[in-house]
A and B are shown apart, each in its own frame.
Chain A
Amino acid sequence: MWRLVHLFAIAALIGSAGYVYRIKYQTILEAEQIVKLKHQINKTKDEIGVLHAEYEHLARPDRVQELADKLLQMQPLALNQIARVADIPEKSAAADSIGHKLEELGLGMTTPSNGAAGATPASR
């Protein structure tokens, strides 16, 4: 009986020792991985920084102006080409001259009413 207990205890001891050993080495491995990844993150961050700077250098306004002058067939913006949304006139009442004529002739019922979702452009 005691022999069995002792055997069991020894087996448990060896087993747990082995387990701890494995955990320990796994931890070391993971820690190494973390350090490696941190290095990689820093390196990538540095590379991103370089790319940002490069982008900013390539998109600098004086270079864009030079390229636009050389390559684009465009004229400089004139101030009268700019309009505010408020400056756009309100939609006027649909001028449906044919409808008016038909109404005058007493045939107005057949024309689509103003603002209805009709199919013709004039009704919209």
Chain B
Amino acid sequence: MKVAFMQSLRRRLTGGATRLLSNGADKGRGRIRQLILLIGVAYLGIAAKLVHLGLSHEAPQTLKSAADLAAAGARPDLIDRNGAILATDVKTMSVFAEPRNIIDKDEAVELVTAVLPDVDAHDLRERLNSKKGFVWIKRQITAKEQNEIYRLGLPGIGFWPENKRIYPNGVLGAHVIGFVDKDNIGIAGMEKYLDTQGLTDPHVPGFQLDPEALKPVKLSLDLKATQALRDELSQGLEKYKAKAAAGAILDVNTGEVVALESLPDFDPNDPPDMTKPANVGKINRINVGTYEMGSTFKALTIAMALDSGKVSLGSHVDARESLRSGRFTIHDFHATHRVLSVPEVFTHSSNIGTARMALMVGVQGHQAFLRKMGQLDRLTTELPESAKPQVPRHWGELNTMTIAFGQGLNVAPLQAVMAVAALVNGGHLMKPTFLTRDVDAAMASSEKVISEQTSESMRYLLRSNATHGSAGFANIDGYYVGGKTGTAQKIVGRRYSNDKVFNTFMAITPADKPKYLYLVIYDQPEAAPGDGGYHTAAYNAGRVAGSLIRRVEPLEGHAPFAAPPVHPFPLIARLGYGGDADKVGKE
């Protein structure tokens, strides 16, 4: 039995071996083929998976990468020209959730909203029920809130450090500095400029960035001068019951904006929603508003006439009668009814005189000059906010006549400031900047627009307007101030209003070798008690500019001169003019 079994087994085994030997070659080849096929399929599978991984956009997210992407990025500090911090990042904790890891979502919502009452429960429940791996519960919580949430001991809820932008000086310089959103991305002002220049990396949180990579960015602003400007402007705003005020201080030799304020303003720590109509009044009036600059524009007209050579300081202009053009008549506000010399046209602020001078140059020349001075095109600076001037579509003789004295052309005040700075700094037109710049760099980027002599003539005219013209309120002893008022009637409906005015004042210090240009604007001021009902620019903008000069010049380290300069205007003195700028003032 046993033997038989063994024999059959042996037969079977040997039989199998002989079978294998007999047709083994065919069978072996078939199996190898099968194996190749199998391996080929496996490789195809791997290749397909690779292609799939390569094409899929969603990288497998770890918690860390998800949090890093969502967290607010680091930004460089903004500092003023003296190194005071205007904006900086501080680290705060934000609380996040991983919805997949939360066991009882309803309980989590209940407990978290008990600690953080300002988180909307319905909204939070929706977020926790989403398919996302990472959601914020609340950004930038306090240490106390963090501690309380930690004590809840909820799984799937954690904390992540974030950067929060803070502005230690609050409202000061807010329009220049701008602000950021919750993700530390610049929304307005220089904050937005930083993002466009690649100076920030919003998707890499600061605690991972090399701190050296984020060098503080120095602005041209002077914090103390800015505060003085804001203080004086807001005092005037109250005193003259104006709708709005704005002001700027510009270094005429470098084009740096040393201070800029526009009231009403806002706190960048709690930025306003500018799309809401209630916040429209908070715009940056210096950059974004466009206004008829009034008589301050006369400086441009007279400079144009002088530079064209058609008029000299000794020329006379007939201002005896009002100027008629078609249906319109141009009057003088302080009518003199006589032939005026060019300095008198400026100090009496004669509309007729400046209109006649503009006509001497002609419409074409007038347009070309204003374009050269940058008054007809949009002025862009580092600030993302800018405005296009409103230029008349059909520019005829009447337009030239009115624009000559500042009506009929709306420009941004910063634009006018840029032009006047060029008139007094020797004729170098340079774009205002909100970053620091030295004189050489400024000169290299500037364009020569008028001659040195015309520039000196303008300085002389501005100075004489301070000593015996409308800028007397700003004539602060010891600073050799020159200035020009501008009272523009506001358009109400379709005509110029008689009692609603838009007032501007520009002053330069010192007039013989200007360093600063001051601009003060009041929108719709009223006469202060004791001013005899006057609400023209001299009484409000002029006065404020005066106290501003008195306050800012010592702050900037400029002591008053003991005596006026001996030869303030050498070029025109050779031609026999300019000697009276101070003599008359002392009479």
Chain A residues proximal to chain B, CB less than 8 Å:
42, 45-46, 49-50, 52-54, 56-57, 60-62, 65, 77, 79-80, 82-84, 87
In the docked arrangement, what's the CA distance between A52 and B169, Å? 12
- Could you tell me if A84 and B559 are in contact, using CB atoms closer than 8 angstroms? yes
**CB of B224 closer than 8 Å to a CB of A:** yes
Query: Interface size on B (CB < 8 Å)?
Result: 28
Q: What are 21 A-B contacts defined by CB distance under 8 Å?
A: A42-B207, A52-B88, A53-B85, A56-B84, A56-B169, A60-B169, A60-B170, A60-B227, A61-B172, A61-B223, A61-B227, A62-B170, A65-B231, A77-B554, A79-B476, A79-B554, A79-B560, A80-B560, A82-B554, A82-B559, A87-B559
Secondary structure at the A interface, as helix, strand, loop or mixed, is helix
B contacts, CB < 8 Å to A: 84-85, 88-91, 166, 168-172, 207, 211, 223-224, 227-228, 230-231, 476-478, 550, 554, 559-560, 562
A49, A52, A83: the one within 8 Å of B559 (CB): A83
* Residue contact B231 to A49, C-beta cutoff 8 Å: no
Are A65 and B227 in contact (CB-based, < 8 A)?
Answer: yes
Q: A42-B207, A56-B168, A79-B477 are in contact. Are A62 and B227 (CB under 8 A)?
A: yes
Whether A82 contacts B560 by the Cβ 8 Å rule is yes
Complex Cα distance, B87 from A49, in Å, reads 11
| A62 CB contacts on chain B under 8 angstroms | 169-172, 227, 230-231
> What is the CA–CA distance of A79 and B554 in the complex, to the nearest angstrom?
8
Contact B84 A79 (CB under 8 A): no
Known: A61-B224, A62-B231, A82-B559. A46 touches B168 (CB 8 A): no
Contacts A61-B227, A62-B231 known; 15 new A-B pairs at CB < 8 A: A42-B207, A53-B85, A53-B90, A53-B168, A54-B168, A57-B168, A60-B223, A61-B169, A61-B223, A62-B170, A79-B550, A79-B554, A82-B560, A84-B559, A84-B562
Interface pair B90/A49, CB less than 8 Å apart: yes
A49 touches B554 (CB 8 A): no
Residues on A with beta carbons closer than 8 Å to the beta carbon of B223: 60-61
**Taking CB as reference atom, which chain A residue is nearest B225?**
A61
Contact flag A46-B90 (CB < 8 Å), given A56-B85, A57-B168, A79-B476? yes
- Least CB distance from B494 to A in Å reads 42
Roughly how many angstroms separate A99 CA and B286 CA in the complex, as a whole number? 68
Q: Is B89 touching A57 in the complex (CB atoms < 8 A)? A: no
Measured CB to CB, the nearest residue on chain B to A54 is: B168
Say yes or no: B231 contacts A52, CB within 8 Å.
Answer: no
- Set of chain A residues within 8 Å of B550, measured between Cβ atoms: 79
Bound: A53/B562 CA distance, A: 41
Report the Cα distance A43→B562, complex, angstroms: 54
Cβ-closest chain A residue relative to B227: A61
Q: Which chain B residue lies CB-closest to A60?
A: B169
Query: In the complex, which of the residues B166, B211, B228, B476 contacts A53, with contact meaning CB atoms closer than 8 Å?
Result: B166
Q: Considering the chains assembled together, what is the distance between the CA atoms of A52 and B166 in angstroms?
A: 11
Which residues of B have CB within 8 Å of A60? 168-170, 172, 223, 227
Q: Which residues of B contact A84 (CB under 8 A)?
A: 559, 562
